[in-house]
Structure 1
Amino acid sequence: MNTITVGEREIRDAVTIGEAIEAVRGGFVDLADGHFEMPTRTALREGQFLVMSAHHRPTSSAIVKTLSVNFDRKPAITGTVVWSETGRPDHLVADAGAVTCLRTGAAVGVATDLLAPPGAGRLTLIGAGGQAPDQVRAVHAVRPLSQLTVVDFDPQRAKSLLETLEPELEGVELFRTTDAEAAVRTAEIVCCATNATSPLFPESALPTQVHVNAIGAYLPTMRELPDELLGSSTVIVDDLAAILEESGEIIHAIAAGALTPHALTELGTALKTPTADFGKRTVFKTVGVAVQDWAIARLLAQKFLP
């Protein structure tokens, strides 16, 4: 048996954001078609250690991801993704931090492509941490940006993010601020990528037509979005079972009577009905599921395994 280990730099060099988006899109459709075995992830020490797995029946391939999360260190996410395939002796072990950022960005790209208006180009990104660059790259890949505003309580962190992204965003107006409420008022797309435990802005601050992606809250104790927004929008989720167990804002909105589980649509199902009218306000809420990791790991296996 051969084990091929792939680090962050190799992953970044091998997989483009466009490839990641298409791979994750296919993964969500296969999930909706029942082609995966995917248990809800195991969370230990209040979400500081996570274990996720998925098996794709048509290809007899599977991944197991183990990671630790610590927002007080850089990188915040460390661990491994292990890819294996029945009948094949070779295994692939990939850096979980890079895979997680890439697959989360890709899911946002898929959802934004489905739900945001065709001409939407003004993005407000709240949170300038490790997930932020791929959020911007993914949105830019499906809705070329005219303007990007980065919101972060640390102005230096926002500045560093913009300096990193500037070479990739030629012609895009770049701004930074600490005021999330003001920043979302003229946004056409909003991405929330924080570890907040209370809503980042009031529903009333948003324009009439807007698409919101929320990726940061992955525990019942975390929230990025207000109940009023969830109750008045079309809400698309990555996986219903995972969302009802792990998403703090969804759990809170249901408990408050602002939302019901029946109002939630899984992304894979929505992708299979692309002509549906989702309305002027849409929300994509993801806690991250193993199908996304499988999709990126499959790309890596195709590129690196003999």
Structure 2
Amino acid sequence: MTEEPAIRRTLNEAAARQLANATKTRAQWSGITPRWLVSFLPWTPVEAGIYRLNRVKEANGEIAADVECSPRRDQDPDLPETFVDYDEAPREYSLNAVTTILDVQTRVSDLYSHPYDQIQEQLRLLIEKVKEKQEAELINNAEYGLLTNAAPSQKIATRTGAPTPDDLDELITKVWKEPAFFLAHPRAIAAFGRECTRRGVPPPTVTLFGTPFLTWRGLPLVPSDKLYVDENGKTNILLLRTGEKKQGVIGLFQPGVPGEVAPSLSVRFMGINRKAIASYLVSLYCSAAVLTHDALAVLTDVEVGKYHAYPDTYA
């Protein structure tokens, strides 16, 4: 009579996992972007939340001042007297606040803050959200956004719909005094790259901040998903000159705000209510100014195609 082999039993894997420590990550959010516009813009501090932009009175780019070449020696050296007039009602920019309030149940923060502090993690993610909103406002805000403050004479439409080298060259003619960079949606940059490749002139790349960027005429094409694509698959491309010395586009912030954790960004504890909810106020103060009208140009009606549900397919 043969004996049946003994059945070997081992510890169940699911049971063993109950004694193991899982390595945990921080909460990941796909909505975080590089926010290149904030990095590329020069930032000017203001003292009391107000920036007054003084301009010269001009017509067609000329000032009303009589300037003549030096007279000949045999002429009476009676030089013209003149002055440069200023705008009597200059525009003032007030810093806008991007704000939100974080509420955390103290029981949660007391009991479940290892290995990651729940309050710090909540604040970290909310600050990222506020910074994403900041970049969106710099582009789209109804008062100080770049799209709103582009002069009508500085707006041109694409020639064929898709962004072409000719279109970007036309933008350069609008901002020809030391332009700094193009700003476009990633899909617009991809559409431009396709047009360049089709014409046999693939755009070169340059590395800035450790990241490669496509360029045209030596100017980087900086991506931002805050230049929205509408339901018809159309968007805009911007070209900027930047900096106060160049009379360009600048960002505005106020240093030293109460509870500051980054320039013009503050986190302030608001207290704990009777339901044991702790509240924190997160505020980011910012604005932007276009110092002269020719510091910014916009290419409109840029077609990038309607995105369909199937991967990598566009109309």
Normalising by structure 2, we get a TM-score of: 0.25
- Larger relative contact order (C-alpha < 8 A, sep ≥ 6)? 2
Structure 1 or 2: more helix by fraction = 1
